[in-house]
Amino acid sequence: MKLQIALDRLSKEECISILVETSPYVDWVEVGTGVIKQYGVSIIEDIKRHYPEKIVVADMKTCDAGKHEAKQVFEAGADITTVMAYADNQTIIDMLAVAEKHNKRVMVDLLGVKSKTRVEELKALNVDLVSLHVGKDMQKNTQLHADVYDLVKGIEDLEVAIAGGINLDSLDEVMAKGPNVLIVGSTITSAVNPGDIAKQMKGMIKRFENNH
């Protein structure tokens, strides 16, 4: 089970400072949509240069022009880019082709998806990585719950990341659902000592894996 830190709504300096503290404990580093919009793909280049051993996720949330956007971020050093599940199938097909060419990956963001049928359609397109996503605004009214997991239940050979307000109190419950990747943002990035929180979470993940 991987721990992915989501760097969003942060300055470039804050991103780098947080990574200095948390990099020993996180596996994947997500460059958030807002950060990319503010600084462009150059911040992806900077982070990959400083942390070449980390999987860097560019959270582009692509909706169109998938071939171009995937090429942009892969050439900047991203290992994974994201596309919205409601994007046209051709957009997703194009991105998967670019990813294969660069030996990279595409994560499909299921934000807003209500039907398991769409997930099955994505699997038929050869999608192998998705994120169950409770958006920032949605978190004001809801928490991760069983219905979210139902979208991917029983679909084989699908790697699942999960994001949405995960904290130290909810981590055990989320891990029990068996995701492959845990995406954690403000719980770590807004902490007084981000490294301490990341270390605690990584320790909880290791203990969970040792007991299961």
24-46 per-residue burial string, b: 16 or more CB within 10 A, e: under 16: ebbbbbbbbbebbeeeebebbbb
Q: What is the pLDDT of residue 146?
A: 53
Q: Can you spell out the DSSP letters for 169-212? A: TTHHHHHTT--SEEEE-HHHHTSSSHHHHHHHHHHHHHHHHHT-
Give residue 181's pLDDT.
98
pTM of the model: 0.94
- Report pLDDT for 112: 87
Q: Residue 160 is encoded by which pair of tokens?
A: 């699942």
Q: Which domains does the chain have, with CATH numbers?
A: 2-210 (3.20.20.70)
| Torsion angle (degrees, nearest 10) of CA 105, 50, 19, 131 | 0
**Residue ranges, the chain, pLDDT below 70:** 134-147
Do the bridges between strand 80-84 and strand 2-7 make them parallel or antiparallel, or are there none, so unpaired?
unpaired
Tell me the two tokens of residue 1.
């089970």
The CA distance from 160 to 128, in Å, is 8
Q: Helix or strand or coil: residue 39?
A: helix
CA distances from 149 to 29, 47, 175, 204 (A): 23, 31, 12, 21
Could you tell me if 42 and 76 are in contact, meaning their C-beta atoms sit under 8 angstroms apart?
A: yes
pLDDT at 86: 96
pLDDT at 165: 82
Residue 212 pLDDT: 85
Nearest residue to 23 (alpha-carbon basis) of 41, 7, 43: 7
